[in-house]
Amino acid sequence: MRREVLEILEKDARASLKQISTMTGLSVKEVKDTIEQAEKDRIIISYKTVINWAKVGDERVQALIEVKIQPEKDVGFDAIAERIYRFPEVRAVYLVSGAYDLAVFVMAKTEHDVAGFVSEKLASLDSVQGTVTHFFLKPYKEDGEILEGGEKVRRQPLTL
Protein backbone atom coordinates (compact mmCIF):
# COMPACT_ATOMS: atom_id res chain seq x y z
CA MET A 1 0.00 0.00 0.00
CA ARG A 2 1.33 3.43 -0.90
CA ARG A 3 1.37 5.30 2.40
CA GLU A 4 1.89 8.71 0.76
CA VAL A 5 -1.39 8.38 -1.17
CA LEU A 6 -3.24 7.66 2.08
CA GLU A 7 -1.59 10.59 3.85
CA ILE A 8 -2.64 12.98 1.08
CA LEU A 9 -6.24 11.73 1.15
CA GLU A 10 -6.36 11.94 4.93
CA LYS A 11 -5.50 15.65 4.72
CA ASP A 12 -7.68 16.38 1.67
CA ALA A 13 -10.24 13.81 0.55
CA ARG A 14 -11.01 15.98 -2.49
CA ALA A 15 -7.52 15.68 -3.95
CA SER A 16 -7.83 14.45 -7.52
CA LEU A 17 -6.00 11.46 -8.93
CA LYS A 18 -3.90 13.84 -11.04
CA GLN A 19 -3.00 15.99 -8.04
CA ILE A 20 -1.99 12.93 -6.01
CA SER A 21 -0.01 11.63 -8.98
CA THR A 22 1.90 14.91 -9.23
CA MET A 23 2.56 15.02 -5.48
CA THR A 24 3.80 11.42 -5.25
CA GLY A 25 5.43 10.82 -8.62
CA LEU A 26 3.16 7.81 -9.17
CA SER A 27 1.17 7.39 -12.37
CA VAL A 28 -2.55 8.23 -12.27
CA LYS A 29 -3.28 4.52 -12.77
CA GLU A 30 -1.08 3.57 -9.79
CA VAL A 31 -2.88 6.14 -7.64
CA LYS A 32 -6.29 4.92 -8.81
CA ASP A 33 -5.37 1.27 -8.18
CA THR A 34 -3.98 2.12 -4.73
CA ILE A 35 -7.18 3.95 -3.73
CA GLU A 36 -9.45 1.22 -5.08
CA GLN A 37 -7.51 -1.48 -3.22
CA ALA A 38 -7.54 0.57 0.00
CA GLU A 39 -11.31 0.99 -0.29
CA LYS A 40 -11.77 -2.72 -0.99
CA ASP A 41 -9.60 -3.66 2.02
CA ARG A 42 -11.44 -1.09 4.21
CA ILE A 43 -8.20 0.77 4.85
CA ILE A 44 -10.08 3.81 3.53
CA ILE A 45 -13.34 3.64 5.49
CA SER A 46 -15.05 6.81 4.24
CA TYR A 47 -14.45 10.32 3.00
CA LYS A 48 -15.33 13.09 5.44
CA THR A 49 -16.20 16.76 5.37
CA VAL A 50 -15.69 18.83 8.52
CA ILE A 51 -18.56 21.31 8.91
CA ASN A 52 -18.72 24.19 11.35
CA TRP A 53 -22.44 23.83 12.13
CA ALA A 54 -22.47 26.96 14.31
CA LYS A 55 -21.80 29.08 11.20
CA VAL A 56 -24.81 27.50 9.48
CA GLY A 57 -27.00 28.41 12.44
CA ASP A 58 -27.63 24.76 13.22
CA GLU A 59 -25.62 24.22 16.37
CA ARG A 60 -25.32 20.71 17.67
CA VAL A 61 -24.45 19.49 21.12
CA GLN A 62 -21.47 17.19 21.37
CA ALA A 63 -20.49 15.21 24.42
CA LEU A 64 -17.86 12.78 25.57
CA ILE A 65 -19.28 10.06 27.78
CA GLU A 66 -16.91 7.97 29.84
CA VAL A 67 -18.43 4.53 30.37
CA LYS A 68 -17.46 1.94 32.99
CA ILE A 69 -18.57 -1.51 31.90
CA GLN A 70 -18.45 -5.11 33.04
CA PRO A 71 -16.87 -7.05 30.19
CA GLU A 72 -18.82 -10.07 28.99
CA LYS A 73 -17.35 -13.56 29.29
CA ASP A 74 -15.61 -14.78 26.10
CA VAL A 75 -16.17 -11.49 24.19
CA GLY A 76 -14.72 -8.91 26.58
CA PHE A 77 -15.53 -5.32 25.71
CA ASP A 78 -16.31 -5.92 22.04
CA ALA A 79 -19.96 -6.97 22.37
CA ILE A 80 -21.01 -4.01 24.53
CA ALA A 81 -18.96 -1.61 22.37
CA GLU A 82 -20.85 -2.89 19.32
CA ARG A 83 -24.23 -2.36 21.00
CA ILE A 84 -23.23 1.19 21.89
CA TYR A 85 -21.78 2.19 18.50
CA ARG A 86 -24.99 1.13 16.75
CA PHE A 87 -27.00 3.93 18.39
CA PRO A 88 -27.50 6.77 15.86
CA GLU A 89 -26.34 9.47 18.31
CA VAL A 90 -22.93 7.84 18.67
CA ARG A 91 -20.18 9.30 16.49
CA ALA A 92 -17.23 7.30 17.87
CA VAL A 93 -16.39 4.68 20.50
CA TYR A 94 -12.92 3.91 21.82
CA LEU A 95 -11.62 1.38 24.34
CA VAL A 96 -9.45 3.45 26.69
CA SER A 97 -7.14 2.98 29.64
CA GLY A 98 -7.81 4.57 33.01
CA ALA A 99 -10.79 4.72 35.35
CA TYR A 100 -13.31 4.14 32.57
CA ASP A 101 -13.38 1.53 29.83
CA LEU A 102 -15.00 3.26 26.86
CA ALA A 103 -14.94 6.82 25.54
CA VAL A 104 -18.19 7.44 23.66
CA PHE A 105 -18.57 10.57 21.52
CA VAL A 106 -22.17 11.60 20.81
CA MET A 107 -23.89 14.37 18.89
CA ALA A 108 -27.48 15.52 19.38
CA LYS A 109 -29.66 18.59 18.91
CA THR A 110 -29.88 19.52 22.60
CA GLU A 111 -28.30 18.74 25.96
CA HIS A 112 -31.66 17.20 26.90
CA ASP A 113 -31.30 14.77 23.98
CA VAL A 114 -27.83 13.76 25.20
CA ALA A 115 -29.18 13.29 28.73
CA GLY A 116 -31.99 11.13 27.35
CA PHE A 117 -29.50 9.03 25.41
CA VAL A 118 -27.42 8.45 28.55
CA SER A 119 -30.33 7.66 30.86
CA GLU A 120 -32.61 5.72 28.50
CA LYS A 121 -30.21 3.95 26.15
CA LEU A 122 -26.72 3.81 27.59
CA ALA A 123 -27.19 3.45 31.35
CA SER A 124 -29.94 0.88 30.85
CA LEU A 125 -27.55 -1.64 29.25
CA ASP A 126 -26.80 -4.51 31.63
CA SER A 127 -23.01 -4.27 31.29
CA VAL A 128 -22.87 -0.52 31.99
CA GLN A 129 -21.78 0.17 35.56
CA GLY A 130 -21.45 3.95 35.40
CA THR A 131 -21.11 6.98 33.15
CA VAL A 132 -19.65 10.48 33.30
CA THR A 133 -20.76 12.98 30.66
CA HIS A 134 -18.67 15.93 29.48
CA PHE A 135 -20.34 18.48 27.19
CA PHE A 136 -18.18 20.19 24.58
CA LEU A 137 -18.67 23.92 25.09
CA LYS A 138 -16.81 25.47 22.18
CA PRO A 139 -14.96 23.80 19.31
CA TYR A 140 -11.62 25.26 18.31
CA LYS A 141 -10.19 22.51 16.11
CA GLU A 142 -11.65 19.31 14.65
CA ASP A 143 -9.93 16.62 12.62
CA GLY A 144 -6.88 18.83 12.31
CA GLU A 145 -8.87 21.81 11.01
CA ILE A 146 -9.09 25.11 12.89
CA LEU A 147 -12.75 26.13 13.03
CA GLU A 148 -12.58 29.78 14.09
CA GLY A 149 -10.33 32.56 12.92
CA GLY A 150 -7.75 30.49 11.10
CA GLU A 151 -4.10 30.54 11.84
CA LYS A 152 -2.43 33.91 12.01
CA VAL A 153 1.18 34.32 11.05
CA ARG A 154 3.13 35.10 14.18
CA ARG A 155 6.64 36.36 13.70
CA GLN A 156 8.93 38.67 15.45
CA PRO A 157 9.15 42.22 14.15
CA LEU A 158 12.30 43.03 12.20
CA THR A 159 14.69 45.34 13.97
CA LEU A 160 17.60 47.13 12.38
Q: Angle at the Cα of 77 (from 79 to 139), degrees rounded to 5?
A: 100
Report, as an integer, the average pLDDT of 33-57.
88
What whole-number distance in Å separates Cα of residue 109 and Cα of residue 132?
19
Mean pLDDT of the chain: 89
pTM: 0.76
pLDDT at 152: 57
What percent of the chain shows pLDDT beyond 90?
A: 66
What are the boundaries of each domain within the chain? 3-40, 53-138
Q: Is the domain 53-138 a CATH 3.40.50.620 member?
A: no
Residue 149 has pLDDT above 90, yes or no: no
**Does residue 111 register a pLDDT over 80?**
yes
Instruction: Provide the pLDDT for residue 129.
Output: 95
